[in-house]
Amino acid sequence: MRLTTAQPLFRHGISCVEIESVTHCARCGAELRQPARGRRRRYCTRSCQARAYRARQTAAPARERPAPPRRLSAIAITRAAVELADHSGLDGLTMRRLAGELGVTTAALYRYFDDREQLLATMVDLVVGTPPPPPRELSGWRARLRYEAHREWQLYRRHPWVLPVLSRLQPPLGPGLLDTLERTLSAFDEVDLPPAELMSAYLSYSALVQGLALLWTSERIDRFGGPGDTEPVPTGLADLIDATARPTLYRVFDPLAVPPPELDFDALLSYGVDILLDGVAVRQRTATE
């Protein structure tokens, strides 16, 4: 952070100083001074902004619109909505745009769905109910929970828009989601936990999967500009991560390592789920002793 010319402001009787931050252009890496107030900038010039836009347009393949269904139905609308959300994200899914994709009027959609929330609930039920059930030979509560965690993880990778829909306190409940919840809770129930602890264990387990999926989704969006449009390494990082002052940080995040280590999210999920289930098993064993 860099201080501008000291020019005190007085708000509510408190003296403060305007602060100007210095970052780097997301395209060329040149030093980029951010204003003390207002919207933050990502690019140093309009030329860099235009090049980044063209790179994103080149990286994102054009999507062919689905042929309008011969006969409009709730399932045809739902499938088209899933495809639109997969391509454009949740913000790109509007009833008007969906109607345009299907070649019908917006009013025609409201004959099948009361509103967008009802459509979202049907979409979630469609994609959640698509994967096959767990193999019959899968036995043991830990194996079943690992399977369900990876299945949920793959769901978020195929349909990233599902994550913000399900990570609510009151997600849209349908048969597919309730069946998944029943399988997961019944696996936890084998440990013979009290109901309150069972729900705590399930919510911790669910938060782990959704948190890693959120991290993966954010990383994917940040790098959507293409493999050549990477963020520059912040200037002075090697000085901040000093081997003497911060030895552990230096060992884990060596600023001189080229290229930086890539995150393996599948391995992260397996590791995190195993640690959590180890804790559940130890807690249950301690309670019965």
Residue 253: predicted pLDDT: 72
What is the arithmetic mean of pLDDT over 239-261? 70
Residue 6: predicted pLDDT: 41
Residue 8: predicted pLDDT: 44
Residue pair 52/43 in contact by the 8 Å Cβ criterion: yes
Residue 238: predicted pLDDT: 63
Supply 286's token pair: 């301690």
The closest of 208, 205, 217 to 157, measured between CA atoms, is 217
Domain 74-129: top CATH class: mainly alpha
State pLDDT tens for residues 8-39: 444 444 444 444 566 777 777 777 777 766 66
pTM of the predicted structure, to 2 decimals: 0.62
CATH of domain 133-224+237-288: 1.10.357.10
Q: How confident is the model at residue 193 (pLDDT cuts 50, 70, 90)?
A: confident
Residue 230: predicted pLDDT: 45
Domain boundaries, the chain: 74-129, 133-224+237-288
Neighbours of 147 (CB within 10 A): 16
Neighbours of 220 (CB within 10 A): 11
